[in-house]
């Protein structure tokens, strides 16, 4: 049986109230993950795009990519854009242009909803707000283009007091050193800092250095969380 307007409104209110309670009053600093938290992400779009290029199914691409370490190496800045594209060509075992590879690789990056830009600006007035993302240069250039198209600001960094990207730091989540660096560089107390991520391994990594955490399980969760 479908829910009526009242039942849906009540359910949303309870959800927002529940998550608001989960944000402790002592929190002064908020560290956001990007994909799946701020930016709507659909990795299956990239699997599908690479599959079409290689003559494989999206599931076959997903299974094959899970065994390849060069994706993580790219996120740690251990590969240049050129080296990554060469690895992708070998991975697909098909000829492809750089433009085709970039388009397929960026297909997973869907959008940043307007409400999330607005939320970040509001939170920036009351908290110290940071971004900590496992990403790479090809993605960084692309989602900055999205930001400029949507807001007129040239970089996503504008919406945070400071943004941290794994490929520039030469380290990635969930390694403890990446969280410690963010805390130390900004003189943040771990107990006064909240970290939000859609990947549970990353949540556990932050918790191990004493940061308070919330596992984000849906793209709209943070809008309810800070309602």
CA-closest candidate to residue 72, choices 143, 172, 139, 164: 172
Q: Per-residue confidence at 22, pLDDT binned at 50, 70, 90?
A: low
Per the listing, tokens 């397929």 go with 104
pLDDT digits (tens, 9 = 90+) for 28-39: 999 999 999 999
CA-closest candidate to residue 53, choices 105, 7, 13, 112: 105
pLDDT beyond 60 at 12: no
> Per DSSP, what are the bridge partners of residue 54?
none
The whole-number pLDDT of residue 4 equals 54
Burial class of residue 179 in the structure, from the number of CB atoms within 10 Å of its CB (0-12 exposed, 13-18 middle, 19+ buried): buried
The whole-number pLDDT of residue 7 equals 53
Measure the CA–CA gap between 187 and 40, rounded to whole angstroms. 30
Per the listing, tokens 């999330």 go with 116
Measure the CA–CA gap between 17 and 42, rounded to whole angstroms. 28
On the question of a cis peptide bond just before residue 174, with omega within 30 degrees of 0, the verdict is yes
Q: Which domains are delineated in the chain?
A: 5-41+111-225 (3.40.50.1000), 43-106 (1.10.150)
Question: From the centroid of its chain, how far is CA 148?
Answer: 18
In contact, 197 and 174? CB cutoff 8 Å: no
Query: Would you state the structure tokens that stand for residue 15, as one six-digit string?
Result: 């959800």
Q: Is pLDDT larger for residue 177 or for residue 221?
A: 177
pLDDT beyond 80 at 182: yes
Q: In b/e form, how buried is each residue of 84-123, taking b as 16+ CB within 10 angstroms?
A: bbebbbebbeeebeeebbbebbbbbbeebbeebbebbeeb
pLDDT digits (tens, 9 = 90+) for 90-148: 999 999 999 999 999 999 999 999 999 999 999 999 999 999 999 999 999 999 999 99
According to DSSP, residue 4 is labeled: P
Which region, left, alpha or beta, applies to residue 155 given φ > 0 means left and ψ of -120 to 50 means alpha?
beta
Which region, left, alpha or beta, applies to residue 93 given φ > 0 means left and ψ of -120 to 50 means alpha?
left
Phi, psi of 200 (to 5 degrees): -65, -30
pLDDT digits (tens, 9 = 90+) for 189-216: 999 999 999 999 999 999 999 999 999 9
């Amino acid at each position: 049986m479908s829910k009526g307007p009242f039942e849906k409104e009540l359910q949303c209110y309870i959800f927002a109230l529940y998550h608001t309670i989960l944000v402790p009053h002592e929190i002064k600093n908020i560290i956001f993950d990007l994909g799946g938290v701020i930016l709507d992400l659909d990795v299956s779009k990239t699997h599908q795009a690479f599959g079409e290029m290689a003559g494989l199914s999206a599931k076959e691409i997903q299974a094959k990519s899970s065994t390849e370490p060069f994706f993580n190496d790219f996120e740690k800045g251990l590969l240049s854009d050129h080296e990554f594209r060469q690895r992708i060509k070998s991975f697909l075992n098909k000829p492809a242009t750089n433009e085709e590879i970039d388009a397929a690789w960026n297909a997973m990056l869907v959008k940043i909803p307007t409400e999330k830009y607005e939320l970040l600006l509001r939170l920036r007035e009351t908290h110290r707000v940071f971004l900590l993302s496992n990403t790479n240069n090809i993605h960084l250039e692309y989602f900055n283009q999205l930001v400029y198209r949507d807001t007129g600001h040239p970089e996503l960094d504008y919406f945070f007091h400071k943004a941290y990207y794994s490929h520039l730091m030469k380290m990635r989540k969930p390694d403890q050193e990446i969280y410690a660096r963010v805390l130390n560089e900004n003189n943040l107390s771990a107990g006064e800092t909240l970290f939000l991520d859609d990947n549970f391994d990353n949540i556990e990594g932050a918790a191990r250095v004493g940061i308070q955490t919330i596992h984000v399980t849906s793209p709209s969760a943070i809008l309810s969380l800070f309602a």
